[in-house]
Amino acid sequence: MSNYAYDNDGGFNNTPTTSQTTPTKPRRNYDEQTLIPVTIKMLHSSLSSPSSTSSSTAEFHLQDQRPLHMIKFVGAVRNSEVRSTNLFLDVEDGTGLMNVKVWVNDGDDCSAIVDLRKKATDRDGKYVRIIGQLKEFDGVRTVVANDVREVEGGGNEVTYHFLEVAHSHERHLKAVSGGLGVGMGYGIGNMASASHVPPMQQQQGVGMGQGLGGGSALNDAVLQYIMSAGLGSDSGVNINDIIGNVSSKGFSTNDIRNAINHLSNEGHIYSTIDENHFQYAC
C-alpha cells in the first residue's frame, strides 16, 4: 500500500505546512484593481486609511471616494537622480510636485527606463507618463512607479491626460448616482471607475421592481416590454417587436440589440423557439 509518511503530500493539495507561512496580502478582487488617471494634487489630497490587512501599508482613496490602486499621471521632470538600483524623479504637473521612485534592474528594464537613466539632459525638462502606486513613508508621499515613459505625443498627451482626469471623475459621479443614460457601465473603455457602485445604489431603475437590468433605463424598457407582451406565451416575444416598441422611447436599434444580449447573458431573459424570440426568466 502507499504509505508515504511524508509531512505533507508533496504540495499537491495545498495543505498548509507547519513551517512558517509568509503572510501574503490577500489579492484584491479584480474589480478593485483599477488604474485611475490623476493629477498630483489629487494624490496629495487623497485620504489614507489604515489597511485592513496589514498594519504598515495605508490604503488611499480620492476625495470623490474612489479607492486608489494603480494611478497614472503626466508631468515634467524637474530633478532626477540616478542610483545603482533605482532612479528618483521629481515630477511636476502644474497642480503639485511628486517624488517618484523607479526600481531598476540592469538588463531587465524596458528601453524607456534605460534611456531615462542615461543622461540628465535626456530627463530633466521632459514630460513623462508615470504608472504606479501611491505610498507614504514617514508622512511623505511617494509614487513607486511600475512604468515611466517619455510622452511621445507631446503637448497633446498633456491635454488629453487632464481631460481624461475630469472625464473619469465625471463617469464615477454618474455611476454612483444611479446608472443614468443608455447602456452606461458596460460600454467600451470602461475604466472600472463605475465598478465601485455599492450594490444598494444600483436599484433605482425606472418603474417596477428592484435591480432589474442593473438600473439602466434601456434594459428596464426592454424587460418591461418582454414581460408584458410575452405574458403567458411559450414562444415569448419576437425581437423585431421589441425593437419596434423600445425604439419609440428614443433608443437606437443597435443599443436595443446590445441590451437584449446583455440581459440574456445575465440570465434575465432566454431565447425560445429560435434566437429571435425571447421570454422573461422569472
Partner 1 sequence: MAEPQQPDGAYPRVNATMINEGLFNNMIVSIIGRAVNFDGVNLLQLESGDGGRVNINLSDAEFHYVPGQIIEVIGHLDGKNIQFFISRQLGDNMDLGIYNDMIAKVQRNPKYKDLFDPFN
Q: Which residues bind partner 1 (CB under 8 A)?
A: 39-42, 45, 63-64, 75-76, 78, 90-98, 125-127, 153-156, 158-159, 162-163, 165-166, 169
Contact 185, 209 (CB under 8 A): no
Q: Which residues contact 128 (CB under 8 A, 6 or more apart)?
A: 74, 75, 76, 77, 89, 91, 116, 148, 149, 150, 151
- Nearest approach in angstroms of CB 269 to partner 1 is 39
Task: Decide whether 50 or 125 has the Cβ nearer to partner 1.
Answer: 125
What's the grid cell of residue 198? 455599492
For the sheet with 269-271, list strands across it: 237-238, 277-280, 269-271
- Nearest approach in angstroms of CB 83 to partner 1 is 22
Residue type, 63: Q
Task: Decide whether 136 or 152 has the Cβ nearer to partner 1.
Answer: 152
- Nearest approach in angstroms of CB 50 to partner 1 is 23
Q: Which residues contact 68 (CB under 8 A, 6 or more apart)?
A: 34, 36, 38, 46, 59, 60, 61, 62, 133, 134
- Nearest approach in angstroms of CB 52 to partner 1 is 25
- Nearest approach in angstroms of CB 84 to partner 1 is 27
- Nearest approach in angstroms of CB 278 to partner 1 is 42
Task: Decide whether 160 or 257 has the Cβ nearer to partner 1.
Answer: 160
- Residue 115: enclosing H or E segment and its boundaries? helix 111-118
- Nearest approach in angstroms of CB 89 to partner 1 is 12
Task: Decide whether 162 or 247 has the Cβ nearer to partner 1.
Answer: 162
* CA separation, residue 167 to residues 38, 123, 198, 201, 230 (Å): 11, 29, 20, 21, 40
Task: Decide whether 9 or 152 has the Cβ nearer to partner 1.
Answer: 152
Task: Decide whether 38 or 260 has the Cβ nearer to partner 1.
Answer: 38
* CA separation, residue 172 to residues 37, 167, 185, 197, 203 (Å): 12, 9, 10, 9, 17
Task: Decide whether 63 or 240 has the Cβ nearer to partner 1.
Answer: 63
Q: Which residues contact 208 (CB under 8 A, 6 or more apart)?
A: 224
